[in-house]
Structure formats: C-alpha cells, structure tokens
Structure 1
Amino acid sequence: MTTAIGIAGFDKKFQEDADPWGTFANRDEANKRRAIERAMGSRIHGRVLELASGNGSNSRMILQHSLRLVACDGAPAAVALTRRELSDEPRAKVYECALPAELPVGRFDLVVAAEILYYLPPAKLARLARNFDRLLSPNGSLVLAHHHVRFADAASQPAGVHDRFTAMLPFSAQKQWTFRTGRWVVDRYQRAR
C-alpha cells in the first residue's frame, strides 16, 4: 500500500511539474472546474477562500466570482505557481498555510475546497471542520469538489468524504446543489444562521 502523500510530496510534485495532474489542459478537469463554477452560483461573493489552490488552475475562475480571493496551499511550490497565475490580480492574495493548523484570519462568504479533504487524516479533517466555525460567515457557502473513487496516496477513503466532513462541522450545513460523475462530485452547502 502506498503511503498517504503529505505537503512534502505535493511540493516535490509541483517542483517537478507545474501541472502534474493536467488540471489546466485535461477535459475532465475543465468539466470539474465548470461544475465548481456552477456550484458557486451566479452572484459575486464578497470574501472567498480557496483551500489547497495547487497550481492555481481554479483560482482565476473563482476570483471572477469574488470581490476578494484568498488562496492558500501548504506546498511552497504550489503557492509560487498560484502566485504566478494570479500575479496580475490585485484582488487576490496567496498564502502558504498547512491545513488545518494554519488558516487565514477572518470570515469568508464562500470557501472552496477541491481535492484536499481525503489527503487529511481523520484527526486533521476533524480539526479543519471545527475551524470552520470561525472561518465561514453566517449564511456562508461551502463548495466541495473531490474524487469519490479510491486511489493509493489518500489518507482516507475518498467515497463519502463530503458527508464525513460536513457531519463534523460545528454548525448545520444544508446541501443545496450537487453534480456527480463516475469519478468526482461537486457539492454546495449553505451554513444555517
């Protein structure tokens, strides 16, 4: 069995290849990006947080639906790639932060987390969920996008990761929208006031 990948592993991947999963060019990744965009809805959100921005392949699209975007990743090479992708965008800030220990300060109207939750062991996933009480604004939205098929370097089972994570949140979150393919799912949740 392969060991779960951590920050050092992701950093190495992004140092060796700026797009190790083909997120800019792959048609399935483009479809997932469109599903994330649909999940965000048609309105412009105020302050938005993107967790695990990777190489920034979703960041510009997320920014188009935001007044301000804070993008973060734990891998320094990924942070550098996201900064390069958003270098011409004064409404975007990019930070290095290792989840769940380091999170940006303040509340966000929308949080987008794609391809990160199953890389966190259960205790870290629970800690991240607890932090959402101070992270997500009352009536804020949460968009989750993850594979649901098993793969070797995940720390936990991909199938059902959205349900497990939202069950750990310290507040009620109602699922409002979902789109599922044979490989991945995108869900939007609304925080109850």
Structure 2
Amino acid sequence: MSTPVSYFEQMYAADPDPWSFESRWYDARKHTLTVAALTRRRYRSAFEPGCSTGMLTARLAERCDTLLAVDAVPAAARTAAERVAAHPHVTVGTAQLPHEWPEGTFDLVVLSELGYYFDDTDLRTLIERAAGALEPGGELVAVHWRWPVTEHARSGDDVHAALAEAPGLERLARHEEADFILEVFTAGPARSVAQREGLA
C-alpha cells in the first residue's frame, strides 16, 4: 500500500517544516547538487511533483521558463507558493500522485524524495506517467534518500532500479553517496553535454 496522505497531513500539522528543509545543511547541499546535475542551461516547461515546502522549487525556478509544482498536502503547497511568490512563471497546486497527473508535456520532470512512498503499482504508474510526459530529449531527475525508513514502502535504491529499467529512459548521469542517489535520465538518445556542444 502507498503511504496515505493522512500521514503527511499529520506531519505538516505538527510542524510546518517536518523534514527541516529550511535549516539543514544536508538538504541545502543536496538541492544544490540536484540543480547542478541538470544538463541543460534552461528548460521550457518543468514539473515537480511532491514539492513539499518549495525549497527545491525555488532553485528550479531560476532554470525554467515555466514550472508547475504540486504537493498532496495543502499546507505544504501554501508554504511553497509563498516561497516562490516572486516568480510569476511558477504555479503551485495540490494533487495526489500518481493518479492526478497534469496534462501536457515537459522537458523536465523532477522526482525528489518521492518514489519510495508508493507501492509497486503506484510506483510503476508514477514512472510511466513521468516518462510519458517527457518531450523528446526531455530529462527526468530523481534523487532519493538511501537509509531505511519505516514509513517507506521501499528503499531509494529500489526506486532508482525501477527507473533504470523503465522503457524509453536512458541514464545521462549518476551521483551516489551513502545518503542518497541522484540520477538524470533522458527521453531519447543519451548525449552528454560535451557531445551536444560539439566537443566530443
């Protein structure tokens, strides 16, 4: 069974920043690395499901012409919307994933600390919808915690193993630490930054 929304609602009711994203160096560094891993200078249209309080959203906003960020918990979405209020090209809303997926296509989808909350069926749907929403040459960035967590349906490693097996996705980059895995996949032939710029 996927983690129920009530679990997250209770966490945000007890603390508006339940994972301490605003104060921990670990998360600030991880968000910096996540944005640094993006292989394109700029993206036309990006989607960030499970945006939480918008700390990563604010960083992504600097690299995107338009950005849609959603969270299942209204309180989290409100905090994220306040954080990016100075960016009119960013839209923040609520959605319960993977079933309430937005229409349209994107050249960037970001799955940050999300996949391990889903059971097998919902994770498969999440990956299928994320991959299916990518434009040709679009990128899917995934980053997940690796240590065991009781509330997680699976490990971060399992999420990335499923992404690696997904049809239509090719890995562009992988960064692995004891704490998390960060990977970039593309919908189309994998060409490095140097290859795209004619250097290799």
Alignment of 1:23-172 (within 5 A): 23-167=21-165, 169=166, 171-172=167-168
Residue 20 of structure 2 aligns to a residue whose secondary structure is coil
Alignment check: 8 A CA contact 1:179 1:185 kept: yes
* Equivalence for 1:178: 174
Structure 1 runs of 4+ with >6 Å offset: none
Task: After TM superposition, give the deviation of residue 42 of structure 1 in Å.
Answer: 5.0
Partners of 1:58 and 1:116 in 2: CA distance? 13
Partners of 1:4 and 1:127 in 2: CA distance? 12
* Residues paired across the two proteins, number: 189
Partners of 1:133 and 1:23 in 2: CA distance? 27
Percent identity at matched positions? 23
Greater alpha carbon shift after TM alignment, 104-113 vs 81-90: 81-90
Partners of 2:91 and 2:2 in 1: CA distance? 29
* Equivalence for 1:189: 185
Q: Which has the higher contact order (CA 8 A, sep 6+)?
A: 1
Partners of 1:25 and 1:53 in 2: CA distance? 17
Q: TM-score, normalised by structure 2?
A: 0.88
Query: Structure 2 counterpart of 1:186, which letter?
Result: L
Partners of 1:8 and 1:80 in 2: CA distance? 17
> Is there any run of 5+ residues in structure 2 with no aligned partner, and where?
190-200
Residue 152 of structure 1 aligns to a residue whose secondary structure is coil
Residue 156 of structure 1 aligns to a residue whose secondary structure is coil
Query: Structure 1 counterpart of 2:113, which letter?
Result: E
Alignment check: 8 A CA contact 2:115 2:159 kept: yes
Task: After TM superposition, give the deviation of residue 4 of structure 1 in Å.
Answer: 6.6
Task: After TM superposition, give the deviation of residue 172 of structure 1 in Å.
Answer: 2.3
Deviations 1:24-44 (A, max 9, x none): 211111111011011113501
Partners of 1:126 and 1:134 in 2: CA distance? 12
Partners of 2:180 and 2:103 in 1: CA distance? 30
* Equivalence for 1:21: 19
Alignment check: 8 A CA contact 1:43 1:65 kept: yes
* Equivalence for 2:195: none
Task: After TM superposition, give the deviation of residue 161 of structure 1 in Å.
Answer: 1.3
